[in-house]
A and B are shown apart, each in its own frame.
Chain A
């Protein structure tokens, strides 16, 4: 079985066929997995919303808003119980993480305090920055607990920077990023609270 010779035509035809077949195969698989990927994404999102908000029965239509100082938009999910607004989940983000981008779902209750959060995406160091999903959620450590607070009554910076929140041990950068994301969610929420309350009547 002799190998095909490396003539120009042979090489061009081979590469063309190899890439063509690969592209067709990938297109097929993409089509096949497109549905399940979207379902998995939405499921993760709705689970996060349930986790961060007080009990609710209906989720209003979500809307997007431009973040301050430009950047990507934040997505708002108002939640209702018996027709009354009980809280809003805000999908917020920061780019200041130790390894860049972090996406967080933050819940804000009707009193304007954080009711919970859930880290959707991050690339922080395992064992250090990755602890943020439990660190700021621990009611036994009030100095690092963010639930029930908001940036108007609490200084949302780490204590090292003169703030009121204790940073994760050995992960000040991740902690700053986390608080940056929450502050961004809150300031955007405040700006939009008129729009949100306008929807309450529904």
Chain B
């Protein structure tokens, strides 16, 4: 398979957020600011890469009937590693994302890629798939987070753009996440149609 295609499909064609609509819980939950989206996206990318690598390595050693619990244990181990490392070296990011990091375990993108891709493909393809999908996810979260942060708190990456008196608070709250996501999906579908 063409590895570049394998890598780039995560951005638009198979973007986990805009096209596959997987992993909606962290998507809607953490994207109240761009930096949170970026942190969550990169943490998920790391977990995706590592779990894809390990799953593709052990795919032939794991009996069919226990593959899901085995994959989940592998994923959970990497998520806990991310959580501990972030707590130790990036405490301020951990403070704002703390609650959502353990939830990467149940993010269906990670298990989805392990099950649908890594358990059927070679090590190299799986690693590239993990990074591609992970960066596509990060890209979607940053885009969503930026739009919500600009509209909802008048800032981007914590740099003030305009006064807080004119912001629409709705956008940093849950309904804002749904509205922005809906419009983004509509725009992407329109672009894809052409």
Contact = CB atoms under 8 A, between A and B. Distances in A.
Interface of A: 1-7, 10-11, 14-15, 18-19, 22, 25-26, 29-30, 33, 35-37, 40-41, 44, 121, 123, 125-128, 170
Contact of B69 (A2, A6, A15, A30): A15
Residue among A25, A37, A126, A128 with max Cβ neighbours from chain B (10 Å): A126
B180 interface: no
B21 interface: no
A26 B78 CA distance: 8
Contact of B66 (A14, A123, A127, A128): A14
B61 A4 contact: yes
The DSSP consensus for interface residues of chain B is: helix
Contacts of B99: 123
A127 B32 contact: yes
Contacts of A128: 169, 173
A25 B84 contact: no
B169 A5 contact: no
Nearest to B119: A3
A25 B81 contact: yes
Contacts, number: 84
Contacts of A15: 66, 69-70, 73
Given A4-B61, A18-B70, A22-B74, 6 more contacts: A3-B63, A6-B66, A11-B63, A18-B58, A29-B85, A128-B169
Interface string B31-75: 011000000000000000000000000111111111001100110
B70 A40 contact: no
B77 A26 contact: yes
Nearest to A128: B169
A123 B62 CA distance: 40
Q: Chain A's interface: helix, strand, loop or mixed, by majority?
A: helix
Interface in B149-163: 152-153
B80 interface: yes
Contacts of B77: 22, 25-26
Contacts of A37: 84, 87-88
* Residue of A22, A36, A41 ringed by the most chain B CB atoms within 10 A: A22
Contact of B169 (A14, A25, A26, A127): A127
Contact of B73 (A11, A22, A36, A125): A22
Nearest to A131: B164
B74 A26 contact: no
Contacts of A11: 63, 65-66
A4 to B, nearest CB: 5
B76 interface: yes
B172 interface: yes
A18 to B, nearest CB: 5
B73 to A, nearest CB: 5
Contacts of B183: none
A35 B63 CA distance: 39
Contact of A14 (B70, B88, B152): B70
Contact of B172 (A26, A123, A126): A126
